[in-house]
Structure 1
Amino acid sequence: MGHLTDLAKSILASAEAIEAHLEKTNTPIPSFEADSNIMPDDMEIIGAKLQLQTDLQDLDMLALGPREFLTAGMIGNVHDVTVINVLNQFNFWDAVPLKGSITYADLASKVKLPEALVRRLLRFSMTRHMFASTSSGSDSVKHTSVSAIFVLQPQIRCIIGHQLEEIAPACINVPQALRHWNNDAEHPSKSGCAYTFFKDTLYEAGTFEWFGKPENAYRVERFAGAMNYMMQSPAMSFTNLHNMYDWRALGAATLVDVGGSEGHISYELARAYPDMKFIVQDLPEVQASFDKARPSELDSRVSFTAHNFFKEQPVKGAEVYFMKHILHDWSDPWAAKIIQQLTAAMKPGSKLILCEGVLPPADKAPAPIVRLLSALDMQMLVALNAKERTVEDWQALLKLADERLVFKGVHQPPGVGFAIIEAEFAG
């Protein structure tokens, strides 16, 4: 039997398994209708969903062949970016009613673009089921489930805006950045983003420092919205932390939440482990937000200290130093400097607990997971000259920072989008 039919049979088996689960749980089967539900993230069907995605991608590549996949496919993918960027910036999402439809002429008037251009843009977007004609030959447009999500979950616009207005232009400039700075893929001010937006200024903190300029306040607000939206995913929820590590075994420990922003993780842990105390550290300008966010019942157990994690750690001898999604923003030399400020303050037995992504071996994980995590690695490269890391990479980083740090292991339950990486200071 040919490989194409094998893939087709596997696709059918996965689809049947997913539909059987949806019927069992009385969940409507997703469609492209605007009011359709979204495919659930139920653990029982994750395997079938990943297998379905893998087989569909392989079948598509084989059906097209390398030439068509790389030429026609690339042209289409590039102009997905073109069209979605226009739809997002000119807010087609709100211009089309969530229920009902709108004529092309009225839509063009609302978004203030020529009607002929609106027709061209939507003709392309409809090939991705993003908006649809009300019927064949109709002169009216309606939402689909793909376009309606921009209305129903508006923070997704922040992700799209960040990706298309900051990351996409920087992607194109990665080769130029490498040539311009002699293949330096580590300095935070020598990334594709740096080349695109601040080539002539060598900021110490790279893109983060550029983001902090007053003229970029709207970018910061949009990025915060994008991160908040991502955290709403069950796989990224703070509540997963409880099942990933034996926090209760720490007893009456003091945990220093380095780069902890407004303190949300410390609040989550403080509520569950009343014997622990927490010190949230971030830049001075974050304190007002922390003070506003801190629940009054936690005033005595969660405090804030202004601190730059590249500077000397002011809290000496704490039982736990904790960082969540900090080190993936920095290349190894910079990440090692951050860790060294902590080891200089540690006592024998102090723990370093990192909450980070861990790249799986490419041959040990489903292809869609490998592709997504590898894409996040490219995101770090483009934006920050930083990286996502494998288990071996994390072990090497800890050794580079301080050989007295003893790697204790990685904890990551199935279905969770991040891991706990634990090390202990031997002294």
Structure 2
Amino acid sequence: MKYPDLFPFSWFKGFRPESNDNLETKSPLRQLADIISSSVDQIDATFKDRGQKYPNLDAPFDPTTPAEATALSPEVIHCSSLIVAACAHLSATVNIPTKLLFDVGGGFHLSAALGVIIEGNVVEILHDHPSGLGVYDISAKNGMEPTRLARLLRLLATHHVFIETSPNVFKNNKLSSMLDTHKSFDTIQSKPEDKYVGTSGISALFAHTCDEVMKGSAFLTETLTDPDIGASGAVEDCPLAVAFKFKKSFWEWLEEPRNEYRMNRFMLAMEGSAKLEPSDAILRGYQWGNLPPQSLVVDVGGSLGHIVREIRNAYPGLKYVVQDRPAVIESARQIWEKAIPSISDGSVVLQVHDFLKPQPILDARIFLCRGVIHDYSYSVAKLILRNLRDAATENTELLIIDTITPYACLDDNQARVGYGIMGTETLPPPTPLLANLGKANAVPYILDSQVLVVLNGEERTIGSFTELLKDSGWKITRVFTISGSSGKQILAAPV
């Protein structure tokens, strides 16, 4: 499945902003309407040129169709992002304030409803009934009380997830079908612990979000107002730990015997989220081919080593080390020895290491931290990066792959000079849209809240990254943006 650009706040080719004189004569409502109209015209023209029709929201998602491929092309994604941003801005402007606040404040009901639907295997039940199925028939299969189930499905259908085709009859649409594991209801019922095994991981990702993350987020207020832990950056003081009453890291909690289902689901969810990235994203920014032969690449917190496998396949002349927790490295070893027996030649080393302790490798050419730094608060992230700095040589580089969250306002430093860092310059979107495209670019802020709840982590702005790296002995030299990837490649050198 191709993954759209989740951070589309740069300018796009083909859009011609009006002069300031023209803008001054138009109301904000008309300016927003014109952005929508112009962007729709460009999308229509693209599909017409290709002899296609824009994908139907009422039909299940099929990534193999030419129309879906076109819808996820960079030029269409940019136009779509402006439409979403302008529609949300227009709606917020004209909506009755209390109604809008009620929609925001009650958003947790959507998460709760989605969680019920996923655990009730409703999407899989409806998969075999493309014209729709009555709620009593759905209930006969999954055992849920039918009138309550109908109310939750109707809430979701009101937000364009599922379709109510006639009173109390529902069917899948483009959005709900994304949650389909493509397993039969009977298969899932016979072995529910394997529901997400062999799937895309999308359903597992949202099941995790609507379970642990939502329940943990309910304790944000209690956590942040607590005089003892409200300002703590410790992983054991996160809202999830307060909600589930444990005093350890999320990873340690998942490894407890009673959490096997959640652990398996989380691992499959993370594997699924990795699949959403372009398969060659790791090769399309930093130039691995410029490293001298036999240079040592150390993947810090590298999980099962899937990123190293991608790099190694393209650059077998380098040496690699994958570091992680003991249980993770043991799983990685089983996978590597089965799939890639040549690991025994020593070109790839799987090493147990706690990155909160001093780094044992002192001759690395590059330290790679993909999806690691955002898991931790400033103080903990600083410790991780300081350990790497202490182990670095003058030629060592650091490559962090994480989200960079844009500010919700114009940032003159970034717009003019990009903080002096190549690859961070931006141009503002058309007036009167928010500088970060608002609703069209909400995902990084949702992810920021998720890592805060689960780990006391943070998805950082470029200003925060600059300060964090400077404080731990590094300086950002360049940022790579990869089309279709949710993460930026942040390259740094020791100072």
The answer as to 2:173 corresponding to 1:144 is yes
1:382 counterpart (441, 446, 453): 453
Deviation of the 1:353 alpha carbon:
1.7
Q: Which residue identity does 1:410 align to in structure 2?
A: V
Pick from 211, 218, 238: which aligns with 1:165? Answer: 211
Matched with 2:397 is: 351
Instruction: Specify the alignment match of 1:296 in structure 2.
Output: 341
1:400 and 2:471 aligned: yes
Runs of 4 or more consecutive aligned structure 1 residues displaced over 4 Å after TM superposition: 36-39
Residue from 225, 229, 232 that aligns with 2:268: 225
Which structure 2 residue ranges, 5 or more long, are not aligned?
1-25, 183-198, 411-427, 429-435
1:150 partner SS: coil
Question: Does residue 82 of structure 1 match 2:112?
Answer: yes
1:116 aligns with 2:141: no
Structure 1: how far apart are the matches of 2:488 and 2:105?
36
Quick one: distance in 2 between partners of 1:75 and 1:328? Answer: 26
2: CA distance, partners of 1:104 / 1:406: 58
What letter is aligned with 2:119? Q
1:256 is paired with a residue whose SS is strand
| Residue type at the aligned position of 2:40 | A
SS at match of 1:344: helix
Aligned positions of 1:166-205 closer than 5 A: 166-180=212-226, 181-198=228-245, 201-203=246-248
Q: Give the C-alpha shift of residue 36 in structure 1.
A: 5.2
**Which shifted more, 189-198 or 114-123?**
114-123
Secondary structure, counterpart of 2:452 in structure 1: helix
Does the 8 A contact of 1:267 with 1:302 survive in 2?
A: no
Aligned residue in 2 for 1:311:
357
Letter in 2 for 1:90: G
Q: What residue is the counterpart of 1:29 in the other structure? A: 54
CA contact (8 A) 2:477 2:493 kept: yes
C-alpha distance in 2 between matches for 1:98 and 1:89: 19
SS of residue paired to 2:392 = coil
CA contact (8 A) 1:191 1:381 kept: yes
Among 231, 239, 242, the residue aligned to 2:280: 239
Question: How does the TM-score come out when normalised to structure 1?
Answer: 0.89
Q: Secondary structure at the residue paired with 1:407?
A: strand
Q: Give the Å deviation of 1:399.
A: 2.4
Q: Is the 8 A contact 2:154 2:164 kept in 1?
A: no
Q: Secondary structure at the match of 1:262?
A: coil
Query: 1:263 aligned to 2:294?
Result: no
Q: Which residue identity does 1:208 align to in structure 2?
A: W
Query: What's 1:248 paired with?
Result: 289
Looking at structure 1, the residues matched to 269 and 459 of structure 2 have their Cα atoms a distance apart, in angstroms, of: 19
- Aligned residues: CA RMSD: 2.3
Aligned AA (1:221): N
Q: 1:120 to 1:343 in 2, by over 3 A?
A: closer
Q: 1:368 to 1:105 in 2, by over 3 A?
A: closer
Q: Distance in 1 between matches of 2:296 and 2:105?
A: 54
**Residue 115 and residue 416 in structure 1: after superposition, are their counterparts in 2 closer, same or farther (change >3 A)?**
closer
8 Å contact kept, 2:229–2:237: no
Query: Which amino acid in structure 2 is aligned with residue 271 of structure 1?
Result: N
Q: Which amino acid aligns with 1:219?
A: R
Given candidates 20, 30, 40, the residue that maps to 1:15 is: 40
| Distance apart, 1:42 and its partner CA | 0.5
Q: In the TM superposition, what whole-angstrom CA distance separates every residue of 1:164-194 from its partner, at most 9, and x where no partner exists? A: 1111121121110122335224221111111
User: Which of 97, 100, 121 is 1:91 aligned to?
Assistant: 121
Give the 3 Å change call, closer, same or farther, for CA 299–60 of structure 1 in structure 2.
farther
The answer to whether the 8 A contact 1:282-1:308 is kept is yes
Identity of aligned residues (%): 25
Instruction: Specify the SS of the correspondent of 2:320.
Output: strand
Are 1:132 and 1:143, in contact at CA under 8 Å, matched by a contact in 2? Answer: yes
Separation (CA, whole Å) in 2 of partners of 1:406 and 1:132:
51
Task: Considering Cα pairs closer than 8 Å and 6+ residues apart, tell me whether 1 or 2 has the greater RCO.
Answer: 2
| CA drift at 1:244 | 0.7
Residue-pair matches, total: 415
* Alignment partner, residue 491 of structure 2: 422
Once residues 60 and 469 of structure 2 are traced to their aligned partners in structure 1, the CA distance between those partners, rounded to angstroms, is: 49
Compute the displacement of 1:414 (Å): 4.6
Q: Give 1:245 shift.
A: 1.1
The secondary structure found in structure 2 opposite 1:45 is helix
Distance 1:353 1:132 in 2: 44
CA shift at 1:8, angstroms?
2.5
> What is the identity, as a one-letter code, of the residue corresponding to 2:493?
E
Which consecutive residues of structure 1, in runs of 5 or more, have no partner in the other structure? none
Looking at structure 1, the residues matched to 286 and 342 of structure 2 have their Cα atoms a distance apart, in angstroms, of: 24
Q: Quick one: which of 479, 486, 492 aligns to 1:410?
A: 479
Q: Is 1:213 matched up with 2:256? A: yes
Q: Over residues 109-155 of structure 1, what are the superposed CA-to-partner deviations in whole Å (9 max), with x where a residue is unaligned?
A: 11212333233233323212333344x45x64332222222225763
Q: Distance in 1 between matches of 2:341 and 2:81?
A: 43
